[in-house]
């Protein structure tokens, strides 16, 4: 099948650690997930189990009013922080807990998450953020100023969102394991579906990249935007040399050319391969890495992920830092449920921070949406705004029962 295959992840087993926070009202609960590619799931679930103790017995309204404090507590437990800080399994677990709480708040207030976030006052948004380690580039006061200056446009931005949505781009035609025929057929389909940018995986063999991109360029013409994604396979010099070999294809961005924490490496790549833009962030662990990527002009496209960092709270910080640097936030999606979750953050950005502009495109990958109660809806190349309450991460009970590892029906048939 090879959906999801790239130069780094050759046998992904799309999975998720799933969390449900119950309340005393059986009809009110919060869900979220952390996307994994298989075996790491067991570790991820244990980490979430260890953190949820910290939010038991909370009152929903109190939690909503103190979500910033809850986020700070989840990241500052000294025993757990020793295993980080602010990276990896426990950081993603904190994200799961916080995202599930935001889902709960949105359901309690009967709003889709993008609307709940957009309706917060600038002061409430700022109170939700942990500014520790980022005040050298963004102080609470500056964040407040950015949000206040966008307030007057909120209503108009919301009307545009409801009417049209936010632009999407697709990765569906570009998996590395696809034949040329399948790639071209899906490319043609994507153009007919209204997408204005398509992304292709790269970084296996240079000859393969050249052949595939030549075929694609011939099909889409000179003007169409093509991005490529190396999923971190290159060293810095290798990335620069590889991209020089692909110069003739007029690429729009190169995504994850090297290790996600090599900020200076990204900066050098960006300098040497201009005008191709450098994009990264789906595996940037935290706001501190994003801060450095922005400070050092290492990225022209910032790719936040809904389940990599510490939830909605940390992504609010990421979106505001990007706004200060005037770098578009083009969220990473795909996986399991990432489109469903991250679209809310892009829509909040479009309504309450940087407004509508074509530089923001949200990744779309067309699989696994059928497991979600509020699957994304793409129309003419745009994500349309979800109207049902919640943050998008709730799965059907029937899907959970069928695929729950290791006792779900799917696994017994596999054995
Ligand atoms: Mg990617």
Q: What is the pLDDT of residues 276-304, one digit of tens each?
A: 999 999 999 999 999 999 999 999 999 99
Nearest to 154 by CA among 306, 381, 355: 355
Instruction: Using the predicted structure, report yes or no on whether residue 192 has a pLDDT greater than 70.
Output: yes
**Per-residue pLDDT band at 414 (split at 50, 70, 90):** low
Instruction: Using the predicted structure, report yes or no on whether residue 2 has a pLDDT greater than 70.
Output: no
**Per-residue pLDDT band at 404 (split at 50, 70, 90):** very high
**Cα 75 to Cα 5, 147, 198, 323, distances in angstroms:** 33, 25, 37, 24
Tell me the average pLDDT of the chain: 96
What pLDDT is attached to residue 31? Answer: 98
Question: DSSP alpha helices (H): ranges in 260-337?
Answer: 263-273, 287-295, 311-325
Ligand 1: distance of its center to the CA of 256 in Å? 7
Is-catalytic flag, 332? yes
Ligand 1: distance of its center to the CA of 229 in Å? 6
Ligand 1: distance of its center to the CA of 333 in Å? 8
Instruction: Give the mean model confidence (pLDDT) for residues 127-152.
Output: 98
Instruction: Give the mean model confidence (pLDDT) for residues 388-398.
Output: 97
Nearest to 206 by CA among 170, 234, 167: 234
- Domains of the chain listed by start with CATH number: 154-399 (3.20.20.120)
What pLDDT is attached to residue 9? Answer: 76
Q: What is the pLDDT of residues 92-110, one digit of tens each?
A: 999 999 999 999 999 999 9
Instruction: Using the predicted structure, report yes or no on whether residue 26 has a pLDDT greater than 90.
Output: yes
Is-catalytic flag, 201? yes
Ligand 1: distance of its center to the CA of 364 in Å? 11
Q: What is the pLDDT of residues 221-261, one digit of tens each?
A: 999 999 999 999 999 999 999 999 999 999 999 999 999 99
Angle at 78 between CA 74 and CA 80, to 5 degrees: 65
Instruction: Using the predicted structure, report yes or no on whether residue 12 has a pLDDT greater than 90.
Output: no
DSSP 219-263: HH-SSSEEEEE-TT---HHHHHHHHHHTGGG--SEEE--S-TT-H
**Per-residue pLDDT band at 321 (split at 50, 70, 90):** very high
**Per-residue pLDDT band at 8 (split at 50, 70, 90):** confident
Ligand 1: distance of its center to the CA of 69 in Å? 32
Judged by average pLDDT, the poorest of 157-171, 192-206, 398-412 is: 398-412
The whole-angstrom separation of Cα 323 and Cα 343 is 17
The one catalytic residue in 107, 199, 201, 291 is 201
Q: What is the pLDDT of residues 331-370, one digit of tens each?
A: 999 999 999 999 999 999 999 999 999 999 999 999 899 9
Q: What is the pLDDT of residues 44-77, one digit of tens each?
A: 999 999 999 889 989 999 999 999 999 999 999 9
Place of tokens 């706004």: 323
Place of tokens 């994304």: 376
Instruction: Using the predicted structure, report yes or no on whether residue 265 has a pLDDT greater than 80.
Output: yes
**Per-residue pLDDT band at 1 (split at 50, 70, 90):** low
The one catalytic residue in 111, 332, 344, 371 is 332
Instruction: Using the predicted structure, report yes or no on whether residue 24 has a pLDDT greater than 70.
Output: yes
Could you tell me the pTM of the whole model? 0.97
Residues 6+ apart with CB under 8 A from 90: 47, 50, 51, 80, 83, 84
């Amino acid at each position: 099948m090879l959906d999801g295959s790239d130069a780094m992840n050759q046998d992904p087993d799309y999975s998720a650690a799933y969390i449900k926070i119950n309340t005393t009202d059986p009809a009110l609960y919060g869900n979220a997930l952390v996307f994994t590619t298989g075996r790491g799931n067991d570790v991820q679930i244990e980490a979430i189990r260890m953190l949820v103790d910290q939010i038991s017995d909370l009152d929903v309204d109190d939690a909503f009013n103190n979500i910033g404090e809850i986020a700070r507590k989840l990241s500052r437990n000294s025993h757990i922080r020793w295993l980080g800080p602010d990276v990896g399994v426990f950081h993603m677990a904190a994200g799961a807990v916080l995202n599930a709480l935001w889902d709960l708040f949105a359901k309690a207030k009967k709003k889709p998450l993008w609307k709940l976030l957009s309706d917060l006052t600038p002061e409430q948004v700022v109170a939700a953020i942990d500014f520790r380690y980022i005040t050298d580039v963004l102080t609470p006061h500056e964040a407040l100023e950015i949000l206040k200056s966008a307030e007057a446009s909120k209503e108009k931005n919301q009307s545009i969102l409801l009417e049209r949505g936010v632009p999407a781009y697709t990765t569906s035609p570009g998996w590395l394991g696809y034949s040329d025929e399948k790639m071209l057929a899906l490319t043609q389909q994507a153009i007919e579906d209204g997408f204005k940018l398509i992304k292709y995986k790269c970084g296996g063999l240079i000859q393969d990249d050249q052949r595939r991109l030549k075929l694609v360029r011939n099909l889409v013409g000179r003007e169409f935007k093509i991005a490529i994604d190396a999923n971190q396979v290159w060293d810095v010099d290798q990335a620069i040399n590889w991209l020089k070999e692909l110069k003739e294809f007029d690429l729009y961005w190169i995504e994850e050319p090297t290790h996600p924490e090599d900020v200076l490496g990204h900066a050098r790549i960006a300098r040497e391969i201009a005008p191709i833009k450098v994009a990264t962030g789906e595996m940037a662990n935290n706001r501190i890495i994003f801060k450095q990527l922005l400070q050092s002009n290492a990225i022209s496209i910032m790719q936040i992920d809904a389940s990599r960092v510490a939830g909605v709270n940390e992504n609010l910080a990421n979106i505001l830092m990007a706004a200060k640097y005037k770098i578009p936030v083009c969220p990473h999606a795909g996986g399991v449920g990432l489109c469903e979750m991250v679209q809310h953050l892009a829509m909040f950005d479009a309504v309450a921070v940087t407004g509508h502009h074509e530089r923001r495109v949200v990744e779309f990958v067309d699989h696994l949406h059928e497991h979600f109660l509020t699957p994304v809806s793409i129309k003419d190349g745009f994500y349309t705004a979800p109207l049902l309450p919640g943050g998008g991460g709730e799965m059907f009970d029937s899907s959970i029962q069928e695929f729950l590892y290791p006792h779900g029906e799917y696994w017994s048939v596999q054995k």
